[in-house]
């Protein structure tokens, strides 16, 4: 007999083995639809079935209504689409390096652990509707040019989206849920977003909403937001609100606006720091209780705020076990710490971080650490030869010249050079090479940990 859930979900599971029969009703359940306590499955079983469906169904995979007792981790798959609506996940969900040529829609799914979409390519849009994502969602380094929408979904601990290119619309439309942390980040390049909408009802004051380094045509807020809002380094063509209630600080740092309009019945604090308003005559702020501040902060304050921002992002990435992203945020945290120390710290503290970046990108670049180590090793050999130009014809004398350079390389020779200054230079250079080799070791460790 076929699975009793097959007809409800389009009979996609007719080729799946029956694993449990309800002793009271006699209904039979396949591996994917059977209750969690009456089956066993693992990641490899799920992946093999997905591969089979991709091959036989021309890239269309239907797993609607499934109950996954193992994690769903799919890498380097080419889909038209995958249907997971009405599914429950007791493990984590992760898509990495996958391709989707049609809309990807997650409707009424429930997860107990994290939900990650990393390095994937979308030809159309990505939708989450009526979902419960207990530990939040991580979207990183995806090729997505259309829409991302979260509609009536409980986002758990939040959404962290790393933007790597232009895309159209991003919508959060949810009422009566505990507002999580939502961060939309573009790193080095300021990518373009047509619109971002936040239609929220958020009682959680421990959360945070962050947008960083984006070019946004339309940014809109509606309903109630009790969490702090931090918009940093964004070019916003139009910012507007609809009867908004914000009972937390709203901070706009180094942003530019063409049109700004707030229609609100409560704003706890609204601050614009180092912002520009090219069309001031079109800007209006309407509120019955607003602390509106326009102020300029010092470089020291700006660098400290950005260091704190990247530290929080790094911790979030570490909590999500996204070590590659944590590495990026570690670099930028140390970079702004270095800038802060230049303005307020001691010279030795700044110099240490500056050299750390120069020699290994704060322990994150194997290539840079290797190049400097090679330079430090070859430099005494090069100077030994240059000091003896023109070189003698005898091979024995050439070898003797090379040995003079080896005296400055750790473990290459145990012969101390004569004279106090040459001896000091020998010890210093050997220590320098040892130190750089240590930095290379740290960089290799960090790479393999990722």
Give the DSSP letter string of 32-90. Answer: TTS-GGG----HHHHHHHHHHHHHHTTTEEE-TT-EESS-EEEES-EESEEE-TT-EES
For residue 294, what pLDDT is reported? 47
For residue 286, what pLDDT is reported? 37
Say if strands 110-111 and 132-133 run parallel, antiparallel, or are unpaired.
parallel
Write down the H helix ranges in 250-365. Answer: 299-319, 323-344, 347-360
Taking alpha carbons only, the member of 182, 105, 191, 82 closest to residue 143 is 191
Which tens digits make up the pLDDT trace of 345-355? 788 888 989 99
Grade residue 47 by pLDDT with cuts at 50, 70 and 90. very high
- pLDDT at residue 265 greater than cutoff 60: no
For residue 30, what pLDDT is reported? 92
For residue 68, what pLDDT is reported? 93
More confidently predicted of 80 and 239:
80
pTM, 2 dp: 0.54
Say if strands 104-107 and 81-83 run parallel, antiparallel, or are unpaired.
unpaired
- pLDDT at residue 282 greater than cutoff 50: no
Share of the chain above pLDDT 90, in %: 9
- pLDDT at residue 29 greater than cutoff 90: yes
Which tens digits make up the pLDDT trace of 121-172? 877 777 777 777 765 566 665 555 556 666 656 655 556 666 655 656 676 6
Which tens digits make up the pLDDT trace of 300-343? 777 777 787 778 777 767 776 767 767 877 888 888 888 888 88
- pLDDT at residue 246 greater than cutoff 90: no
For residue 35, what pLDDT is reported? 92
Unique residue bearing structure tokens 């509120």: 287
Omega prior to 390 cis, within 30 of 0? yes
Which tens digits make up the pLDDT trace of 365-409? 888 889 998 888 877 777 666 555 555 545 555 455 555 656 666
For residue 419, what pLDDT is reported? 60
CA distance 189 to 169: 18
Query: Once rounded to an integer, what is the mean pLDDT over residues 68-90?
Result: 90
Query: Which SS3 state, helix, strand or coil, does residue 123 take?
Result: coil
With contact defined as beta carbons under 8 Å apart, do 450 and 323 qualify? yes
Lowest mean pLDDT among 118-122, 195-199, 280-284, 304-308: 280-284
Which tens digits make up the pLDDT trace of 404-438? 656 666 655 555 656 666 667 777 777 888 888 88
Query: Which SS3 state, helix, strand or coil, does residue 277 take?
Result: coil
Query: Once rounded to an integer, what is the mean pLDDT over residues 72-85?
Result: 90
Grade residue 120 by pLDDT with cuts at 50, 70 and 90. confident
Taking alpha carbons only, the member of 243, 253, 242, 240 closest to residue 295 is 253
Provide the residue ranges of all domains of the chain, joining segments of one domain with +: 166-296, 362-449
Q: Residue 350: beta bridge partners?
A: none
């Amino acid at each position: 007999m076929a699975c009793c859930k097959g007809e409800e979900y389009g009979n996609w599971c007719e080729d799946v083995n029956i694993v449990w029969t309800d002793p009271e009703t006699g209904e039979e359940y396949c591996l994917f639809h059977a209750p969690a306590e009456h089956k066993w499955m693992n990641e490899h079983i799920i992946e093999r079935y997905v591969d089979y469906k991709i091959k036989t169904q021309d890239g269309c995979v239907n797993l609607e209504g499934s109950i996954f007792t193992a994690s769903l981790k799919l890498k380097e798959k080419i889909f038209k689409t995958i249907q997971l609506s009405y599914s429950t996940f007791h493990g984590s969900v992760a898509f990495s390096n996958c391709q989707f040529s049609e809309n990807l829609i997650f409707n009424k799914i429930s997860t107990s652990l994290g939900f990650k979409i990393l390095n994937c390519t979308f030809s159309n849009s990505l939708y989450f509707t009526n979902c419960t994502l207990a530990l939040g969602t991580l979207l990183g380094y995806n090729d997505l040019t259309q829409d991302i929408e979260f509609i009536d979904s409980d986002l758990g601990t939040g959404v962290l989206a790393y933007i790597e290119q232009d895309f159209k619309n991003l919508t959060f439309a949810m009422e009566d849920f505990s507002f999580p942390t939502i961060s939309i980040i573009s790193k080095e390049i300021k990518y373009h977003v047509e619109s971002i909408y936040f239609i929220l009802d958020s009682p959680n004051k421990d959360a945070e909403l962050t947008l960083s380094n984006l070019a946004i045509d339309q940014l809109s807020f509606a309903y109630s937001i009790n969490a702090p809002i931090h918009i940093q380094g964004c070019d916003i063509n139009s910012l507007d609100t609809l009867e908004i209630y914000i009972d937390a600080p709203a901070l706009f740092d180094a942003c530019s606006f063409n049109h700004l309009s707030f229609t609100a019945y409560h704003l706890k604090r609204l601050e614009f720091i180092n912002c520009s308003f090219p069309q001031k005559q079109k800007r209006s702020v309407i509120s019955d209780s607003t602390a509106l501040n326009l102020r300029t902060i010092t470089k020291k304050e700006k660098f400290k705020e950005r260091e704190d921002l990247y530290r929080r992002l790094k911790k979030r990435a570490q909590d999500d076990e996204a070590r590659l992203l944590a590495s990026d945020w570690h670099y930028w945290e140390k970079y702004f710490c270095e800038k802060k120390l230049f303005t307020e710290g001691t010279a030795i503290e700044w110099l240490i971080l500056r050299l750390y970046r120069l020699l290994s990108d704060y322990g994150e670049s194997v290539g840079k650490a290797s190049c400097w180590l090679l330079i430090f090793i070859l430099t005494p050999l090069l100077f030994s030869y240059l000091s003896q130009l023109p070189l003698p014809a005898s091979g024995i004398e050439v070898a003797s010249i090379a040995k003079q350079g080896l005296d400055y390389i750790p473990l290459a020779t145990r012969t101390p050079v004569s004279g106090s200054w040459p001896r000091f230079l020998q010890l210093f250079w050997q220590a320098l090479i040892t130190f750089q080799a240590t930095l290379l070791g740290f960089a290799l460790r960090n790479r393999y940990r990722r």
